[in-house]
């Protein structure tokens, strides 16, 4: 088995610093875990944890730090945060101390980075089961949306959309832009790109402008490289549309 603290998951490492009773009035059983981001970019992280005590069974945990719970939060590049994992249910604590043989389930970004089962042995935490995300899902073309009625208003056709994933946080977008009547308004036009996350928040905007005298009726537009603060797997949708 491999020590948890010696393993890296997409540039993220985890280390159990201590276990014991917390300082609150009901003295909850807590685990302090250090999470370190060694990447060059900040990473959005969410954690779900469960503790399986050999004496008290399964206890669901909560993360008491910086909103790194189910919804997640960003951890800056080359930074760490010490998280408190609370395993006290309904203000009733049964676990008083960690024991060898106890296990802990750790799910990172809903399993997109890793799902781990840990076991305590000799006072240290080891990985006994690991399911890791070994590759980036590059099949995001189906997340592109565009509105034909807007194209018609501008006398344009947008077609042949494609995406090239560069790495976990960046991509290129391409599309053909065709003038329906071979020409466009003297005022020109813009082609806008809006990228949304899974919660429907806009996380990136990009734009290319063309005017009547520099658009010949057909062109392949290239947006990129587009750098994102989320991973490409967290993209909810990509909208491409004309404006003026």
Residues 6+ apart with CB under 8 A from 101: 54, 119, 120, 121
* 150-175 confidence digits (pLDDT tens): 999 888 999 999 999 887 788 999 99
What are residue 194's phi and psi, to 5 degrees? Answer: -125, 125
Task: Read off the pTM.
Answer: 0.61
At 24, list the tokens.
Answer: 């609150």
Cα separation, 154 vs 132, in Å, equals: 46
The residues with which 14 forms a beta bridge, in sequence order, are: 35
Among candidate residues 37, 32, 28, 6, the one with its CA nearest the CA of residue 17:
32
Q: Report which of 153, 150, 165, 171 is spatially closest to residue 224, judged by C-alpha positions.
A: 171
Delimiting residues of CATH 2.60.40.10 domain(s) in the chain: 2-132
Residue with more model confidence, 232 or 223: 223
How far apart (Å, rounded) are the C-alpha atoms in residues 118 and 33?
A: 13
pLDDT for 30-83, tens place per residue?
A: 899 999 999 888 887 888 899 999 998 888 888 765 455 555 678 888 999 998
Q: Of the CATH numbers 1.10.10, 2.60.40, 3.40.50, 1.25.40, which one belongs to the domain with range 141-243?
A: 2.60.40
**pLDDT band of 24, cuts 50, 70, 90:** low
* Architecture of the domain whose range is 2-132: Sandwich (2.60)
């Amino acid at each position: 088995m491999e020590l948890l603290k010696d393993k890296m998951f997409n540039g993220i490492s985890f280390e159990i610093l201590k276990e014991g009773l917390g300082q609150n009035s009901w003295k909850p059983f807590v685990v302090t875990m250090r999470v370190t981001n060694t990447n060059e970019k900040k990473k959005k992280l969410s954690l779900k944890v469960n503790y399986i005590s050999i004496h008290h069974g399964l206890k669901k945990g909560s993360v008491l730090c910086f909103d790194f719970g189910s919804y997640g939060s960003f951890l800056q590049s080359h930074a760490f945060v010490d998280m408190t994992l609370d395993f006290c249910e309904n203000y009733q604590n049964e676990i008083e101390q960690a024991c060898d043989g106890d296990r802990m389930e750790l799910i990172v970004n809903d399993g997109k980075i890793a799902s781990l089962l840990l076991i305590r042995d000799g006072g240290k935490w080891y990985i006994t089961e690991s399911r890791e995300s070994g590759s980036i899902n590059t099949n995001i073309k189906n997340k592109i949306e565009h509105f034909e009625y807007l194209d018609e208003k501008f006398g344009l056709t947008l077609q042949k959309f494609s995406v090239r994933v560069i790495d976990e946080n960046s991509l290129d977008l391409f599309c053909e832009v065709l003038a329906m009547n071979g020409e466009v308004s003297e005022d020109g036009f813009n082609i806008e790109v809006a990228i949304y996350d899974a919660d429907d928040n806009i996380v990136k905007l990009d734009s290319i402008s063309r005017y009547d005298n520099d658009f010949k009726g057909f062109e392949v537009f290239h947006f990129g490289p587009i750098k994102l603060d989320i991973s490409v797997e967290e993209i909810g949708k990509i909208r491409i549309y004309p404006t003026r």
